[in-house]
Amino acid sequence: MKVEAIAYEAAGRKFEGHLVHDETAAGPRPLLLVAPNWAGVTPRAIEIGRELAAQGYVTFVADMHGLDRRPTGQENPMAFLAPLIADPEATRARVNAAFDAMTSAAVSRGIGNPKFRAAIGYCFGGSNVLDLARSGADVAAVVSMHGNLKTGLEAKSGDVKAAVLVVHGADDPIAPKSDRDALEAEMRGAGARWTILAFGGVFHSFTDPAANRPPSSQFSSHACRYGYGLAHAFIADAFAGKV
């Protein structure tokens, strides 16, 4: 897999995402934006980009913090998340900038098909891809994996063009059932095409093999396996106009 650092800007700030693609693959491939957890563009986030690119996508690991404000992983996550949560417009501008940077970089290299674009996000990144959909972006599908579901700026009728999939732990204390219920109501009100799958007895961060802090976050092999299986099938159906 080839990994390229791609510089882009949003609201006058500098960001750097990573484009990941299989150099041996022929022809343009579908594009998949990867929104990482609160820690941002880390070696693990890039590795996830590689794993997803192996499924036939060109992936782009989004930078939601900017080059001048990158977590080391040791901080209080809310020190980085609170300003973005409080300013949903800024958050949406950043994820849309990453989406556009992915498209431009992949198309200019002849490796990406802009007719087939999707996004997947993890934890905070789950809220980022939901915000991409809420913003009305021309994206076929968004998938939230154990994502944060709340928003201070709900989608209105007709806003959401994407098919929306939320894969979640039913016992996730960070985004509990009340948040899922609120998202369901929001998606209904927006007239969106949406699906929520909740795994019983599963917590936050269930796709992360390093997560082991129950009852807050814990890896779940079956939720991870089934969740990814559904995610890939859902994206494929969205590309085919079946969702």
What residue segments make up the domains of the chain, in order of their start? 2-239
Q: How far apart are CA 87 and CA 111, in angstroms?
A: 34
- Triad 111, 127, 76: Cα angle to 5°: 110
* Phi, psi (rounded to 5 degrees) for 126: -60, -40
- Eight-class DSSP state of 153: S
CB burial of 125-135 (b: ≥16 within 10 Å; e: otherwise) equals: bbbbbbbbbbb
CATH superfamily of 2-239: Alpha/Beta hydrolase fold, catalytic domain (3.40.50.1820)
pLDDT in tens, the chain (243 residues): 999 999 999 988 999 999 999 999 988 999 999 999 999 999 999 999 999 999 999 999 999 999 888 877 777 888 888 888 889 999 999 999 999 999 999 999 999 999 999 999 999 999 999 999 999 999 999 999 999 999 999 999 999 999 999 999 999 999 999 999 999 999 999 999 999 999 999 999 999 999 999 999 999 999 999 999 999 999 999 999 999
Q: How far apart are CA 238 and CA 182, in angstroms?
A: 24
Q: Residue 194's pLDDT is what?
A: 98
Q: Residue 70's pLDDT is what?
A: 82
Q: How far apart are CA 22 and CA 115, in angstroms?
A: 19
* Nearest Cα residue to 62 out of 46, 79, 83: 46
How far is residue 33 from each of residues 19, 51, 65, 98, 172, measured CA to CA in Å?
9, 13, 16, 8, 24
Q: How far apart are CA 209 and CA 207, in angstroms?
A: 6
